[in-house]
Each structure stands twice: as C-alpha cells, then as structure tokens.
Amino acid sequence: MIQGFFVFCTSIKCIMSESFFEKEENVKQYLEMTADYDGLWFYEQFKKHIPPSYKALELGMGPGKDLDNIRQSYHVVGSDFSFTFAELYKRQHPEVKIMVLDAVTIKTPKRFNCIYSNKVLHHLTAKDLSASIQRQAQVLEKDGLIFHTFWKGTGEENYEGMLFNYYEIEALKELFDASFEIVHIDTYQEFKEDDSILLVARKK
C-alpha cells in the first residue's frame, strides 16, 4: 500500500493536502497504485483487540480497504479530510456512513467506542498529533480504545511536501501517556522487518 503511495507521490510531485486529494484523477491514480493491498493483517489485529460490540470511527480511510474489511464485523463510520475520497466511496457504498473529517480536529458531535487509522497519523506534525490525541480522547466513550499504526524510526521526511514523521515505541508511549493507557504496542513488518508499529490504547 505505502510503497505504491511513495511511488505515486514522488512521481507526480504530490502535495499531501486536502486540495490535492480533492482532484478525482489523483484519487483514482492512488487507487490503482494501491490495488494489491488487502489489509488482512490489519483486520486480524483489529478483531484481536477490539470487542465486536464497539462502534468505530476510521480516520484517513483513503480508498476504504480497511473500512471494507472492518465493516464486515463492526458498526463503523469512515472518514477522510479529502471530500473526493469520501464521496467516491460513498457513491459505491451508499449504505455506509462516511464523514469528511480532519484527523487533527475531528469535528463531530458523535461519540465512538473505538478510533482507528492505518498509516495516517505520521502525516501530522508533532503539534497536530498532540492535538489529535487530545481530541480523540474527547470523542471516545468511557473505556474507548484507539488502534493506530505508525512508521517506526526517528526524525521526519518530506516527500514533495508530504510529511512522514517516524516514531519509536518509547516516543509513542510518551505522546499518548497523558490521555491513554497502552494496552498493546509492538513492531510489525509492512515491507521490511520491524518497519512499523501498532499501538492499541484505552482512554484513561
């Protein structure tokens, strides 16, 4: 998924902004580049950690591959800050609730038992990630869980304007500690051994 996304972004000099993904041709090209991603590992982990009764919100759903898996067994609402991604998915799946939401501000009066994302929050600046974490705690019900993946490493990179912030396990623990109790945090392999981190945490 991400490899295709890198190639896509570096080859056409994408700017990771709402306006870039408002263009339907860019979204369609992204869909083609990530067509072989099945999201099954993410789905298996989700089922392992999130109770089936939990109502979930996805941040940064993109083409909705993870959403398609998760909605087989959960009541889930999809969201992205790109209206085009949201609209494209909605057109194909009118029965699924989709919202246009920025992962930083999550402007919704609705409350959820789980908020999840798959390789989205690394696009936020450190300041925006802190704001997002605080907001996620507000949007969650009591005992609510978060389920997020990150790229493992240190520092940040900028691919033609698109931010990639890398985190080590200890750094993530520190960031989430004020509002969340870590339930599970471990590395996994997306492309290379230990290149990614899965974090599951409960609202304090």
What minimum distance in Å lies between the beta carbon of 18 and ligand SAM?
Answer: 8
Q: Give every CB contact of residue 151 below 8 A, 6+ residues apart in sequence.
A: 2, 119, 122, 164, 165, 166, 167, 195, 196, 197
Closest to ligand SAM by CB, 21 vs 147, is 21
Q: CB-wise, 14 or 170, nearer to ligand SAM?
A: 14
> In the complex with ligand SAM, which residue's Cβ is closer, 125 or 204?
125
DSSP 167: B
> First vs last Cα of the chain: how many Å apart?
33
The residues binding ligand SAM (CB under 6 A) are 5, 21, 39, 59-66, 80-82, 85, 102-104, 118-120, 123-124
- Enter the DSSP assignment of 45: H
Nearest approach, Cβ of 41 to ligand SAM (angstroms)? Answer: 12
Q: How far is the CB of 37 from ligand SAM (least distance, A)?
A: 7
Beta bridge partners of residue 184, listed in sequence order: 200
Cα(116)–Cα(74) distance, integer angstroms: 12
Residue closer to ligand SAM, measured from CB, 72 or 142: 72
